[in-house]
Amino acid sequence: MKHRAVKRRTVVVGLGSVAGAAAIGGFAADAQAESRNSSRNAEKPANSGALAFDPSAYTELTTTVTTDEGDKEVTYHFWKALTYVTAPVDAEHQSLVVSVPVRIDGKAVDATNAPILFSNAVGGYFPASVATAAGVGEAAMEMGDPGGAGGPGPGGTPPADTGTGTGAPTTGTGEVPSGSNGMLNGMGEMVSLPKLGLAAGYVVVEPGCRGRTLTDANGTYYGTAPAAIVDLKAAVRYVRSNQGRIPGDTRRIVSTGTSAGGALSALLGASGDSALYAPYLKEIGAADASDAVFASGDWCPITDLEHADGAYEWNWGANTPQSGTLDQSVSKELRAQFAEYQASLRLKGLNGFGPLTARNYDDYLLETYVRPAAATYLKGLAEADRSAYLSANPFITWKNGRATFTWADYLTHVGARKKTAPAFDTFDLSGGENNEFGTGTTEARHFTAYGQRHDTTGLTASRVDGDIPALLDLMNPMYHLARHNPGRAKHWWIRVGTKDTDTALTVVGNLAATLHGLGDDVDSLMYWDQGHGSNTDAADFITWVARVTGRRK
């Protein structure tokens, strides 16, 4: 498995203020800023509960953000890690940071009623932390320790011979800033949405949350499903319960995330105010407020996990894995499961496509997403580059601004797939998702009947554990959408690259088609030739946020 070195993006932090220096000047400067701000604590709203946001407890920072319109110098108020629940299991992860722009290129901005970008940094279902974040866009996805013998340890890398798992870097011991998600396999470049949002004048909230690798002193896994979504909901509740204290319009919370973070963002969007999470939220002392979000931005969401193995084989079954071998009979059986699942969804495609089935889904993806993605890409190239690209890729017919090619040729163009079969509920429990469904001191479990039946780790039970079905519901946006959850977000932005083989493209296709069927506002497209985690139209997303939230420039 290949990994690009994790690249830290340069953040230019201004030294123009004492507080600005605090963020980069270490402990002494930090303490100075603390005392300066604590003198203003008298300004706290009178009716402050344990989770009251202190409007005065910020430091002022300056950063330069590179945007499509050039570099912008943004001065902003930054609230360091704030614990968002009253009974944290792990305050280091159950905390969030807030950034509020006050000046952009020297011009004062008022973010009092700005949309709130709620941007999670989760990757790989690992924990995410803002404990040490000293400015916007520094939320860290934690990679955990590399795996031990016999498969990945907590947060570890998949065994080299299977190619399954989540693709954590082999050096996965550190933290990765949210702007460069280390889970992402290096084919796509990811622009920091928190920074772009700030430069657009939005309030930015970056939540940490528990993740699958966390264990307590007894070796009990306390960050596996549904911990991450419970925490993100608690963070939303914290923000909303601080309406009037926290800058921004708490009715216009826009969630974002990529990959596992995209899955959680979609889930946050789909499950707003669902009663299913109430006991979990109560247990950690979440604020008594709505956890619905206004809009959901989801990049390459690794979701619908219990159906993802079948979908993966339907989509990428013809492609050889990057490493390891593909068991053809397993692939075939899983593909058959997809046909059954897809039929059960009774979905209609966008643009009047009609019922979506395993038989026509290739045509649907080509027509709706993949060919238009190629066309957009080709149109964006200069004449000479386009000619060169088309000569190098003769499978594409380019005529009248339209790209045509067959599904088989597209699959060949994508090349080796990232995972073997099953891609998620691996027989040897080595997948990251197996760990996501771990419980107690059990690191990893099966979450599909098929995975359980084919277990190679010596399990004797023929069925998945009794608590698994309910956990799957808690983790799957499709569950909530099937029930037309009234508290769901009504505005959706969904993206994936056409070379992203971390999951099936049908996952995005089904999510978008379901939402469209419910009458929600869905902006879904694919990025041509982009791999896992790219967000090549991040600037468009920022504009989309302004439009759907009614933000005036």
Residue whose entry in the numeric block shows the structure tokens 């419910």? 518
- Shortest distance (Å) from residue 282 CB to ligand DHB: 29
The two three-digit tokens of residue 49, written as one number: 């509960």
Hey, how many other C-beta atoms are within 10 angstroms of the C-beta on 390?
A: 16
Select 125 or 405, whichever has its Cβ closest to ligand DHB.
125
Tell me if the bond preceding 226 is cis, omega within 30° of 0: yes
CA Rg, the chain, in Å? Answer: 23
Phi, psi (rounded to 5 degrees) for 251: -85, -5
CB 304 within 8 A of CB 314: no
CB-nearer residue toward ligand DHB: 166 or 242: 166
Please state the closest distance from residue 102 (CB atom) to ligand DHB, in A: 33
Q: How far is the CB of 135 from ligand DHB (least distance, A)?
A: 23
Q: 444 — phi, psi (to 5°)?
A: -145, 145
Q: Report in angstroms how near the CB of residue 279 gets to ligand DHB at its nearest.
A: 26
Q: How many CB atoms lie within 10 A of CB 381?
A: 13
Joined together, the tokens standing for residue 191 give 């622009």
Q: Strand 402-404 vs strand 397-399: parallel, antiparallel, or unpaired?
A: antiparallel
Beta strand 397-399 pairing with 354-355: unpaired
Least Å distance, CB 433 to ligand DHB, is 6
DSSP state for residue 366 in the 8-state scheme: I
Q: What whole-number distance in Å separates Cα of residue 91 and Cα of residue 79?
A: 16
Instruction: Return the number of the residue (121 or 374) whose C-beta is nearest ligand DHB.
Output: 121
Residue among 115 and 182 whose Cβ is closer to ligand DHB = 182
Shorter beta-carbon distance to ligand DHB: residue 268 or 374 = 268
Please report which helix (H) or strand (E) contains residue 383, including its range: helix 383-392
Q: How many residues does the chain have?
A: 553
DSSP string across 70-122: EEEEEEEEEEEEEE--SS-S-TTTSEEEEEEEEEETTEE---TT--EEEE---
Nearer to ligand DHB, 134 or 260 (CB): 260
In sequence order, the 6+-apart residues with CB closer than 8 A to the CB of 40 are 56, 57
Q: What are the residues binding ligand DHB (CB under 6 A)?
A: 123-125, 166-167, 183-184, 259-260, 302, 432-433, 502
Residue type present at position 155: G
Give the separation between CA 301 and CA 266, rounded to whole angstroms: 7
What is the SS3 assignment for 129? Answer: strand
Q: Encoding tokens for residue 37?
A: 């701000």
For residue 426, the minimal CB distance to ligand DHB (Å) is: 10
Comparison of 260 and 356: residue with beta carbon closer to ligand DHB? 260
Rounded to 5 degrees, φ, ψ at 421 are -115, 140
Nearer to ligand DHB, 443 or 502 (CB): 502
Question: Least distance (Å) from ligand DHB to the CB of residue 191?
Answer: 16
Helix (H) or strand (E) holding 338, with range, is helix 328-345
CB of 331 to ligand DHB, least distance (A): 17
For residue 142, the minimal CB distance to ligand DHB (Å) is 12
Q: Which lies closer to ligand DHB via its Cβ, residue 323 or residue 549?
A: 323
Minimum CB distance to ligand DHB, residue 92 (Å):
20
Nearer to ligand DHB, 123 or 509 (CB): 123
Pick between residue 123 and residue 154 the one whose CB is nearest to ligand DHB.
123
Count CA within 13 A, CB hemisphere, residue 478: 23
State in angstroms the smallest separation of the CB of 308 from ligand DHB. Answer: 8
